[in-house]
Structure 1
Amino acid sequence: MQTHILIIESASDDQLWGRLIFDDNLIIESASNEDALQKKMKKLLKDFHGLNPKEIEFDVQYDITRVFEEKNFLNISEIAQRAGINKSLMLQYTSGKKLPSLDRVREIEKVIRQIGEELINIKLAAPVKKKPVTHTRG
């Protein structure tokens, strides 16, 4: 099985854009969803490089602007605070107005992973029905 890094980005036309590099060639494609994008990318790798699509796996990575669109439950302000980033700067990163350095991207990724660990460790208890209180006069 061959694993290739597939970076997913957003586009203004509600399409996902994917890019990967194979043999120093930049391959770019768009689709309406991630599954369709992966199928198209496998077809391109087959057509132009003779790879067997059944032997291709993707290590999917998200462009920083896309991750906050795809995972819209992530609170940008909370992540900025935990990473020690100014909230307005973080909003500029997530909108694509400014590009973070690789070190900054790793800091943000670390915070997101920490949140994931916190979520994994949550245990919920089922609510207990309370018995009605009856008062007696005595």
Structure 2
Amino acid sequence: MEALPTLMDLPAADLLIAFLPILVTNGYTITGEGFRVCQNDGTWSGTAPTCQATCPDLTVPTNGVIIYSSSTTPHRPRGTVATQSCLNGYVPSTTSTATRVCGADRLWSGSALTCQLSPVYVSMGTTTQDCSSRYSP
């Protein structure tokens, strides 16, 4: 069996035909090999790669956190769930969405989380109690 030439052995004109780099548009990730080579038998090496839509990481809310179902960063694959929550002492505003999903359109569902100081913490921090006038010894 004849040995296959390496890329360095191929003339420049043949190299363009023999080597197929796979380019990925911004906002997508590639699954599979990033290139394919035309083999002596006329077939391409490897398996055809696929492209998957991704969403950029969300901005972490002030006084909040985001936990993703995918560890891939900084672009999350379609279907990734982002769970947003507020830190202790803060509560989400009524218009915020706790769970968001990366869609095929490369956009996150729902709305950004806004965390506001909890009313309980506000009253505890600003209210003083004077019990001397109500209780006598």
User: Shared topology, TM-score over 0.5?
Assistant: no
Scaled to the shorter chain, the TM-score interval is: under 0.3
* TM-score (norm. length: structure 1): 0.24
User: Greater relative contact order (Cα 8 A, min sep 6): structure 1 or 2?
Assistant: 1
Q: Would you tell me which structure has more strand in proportion to its own residues?
A: 2
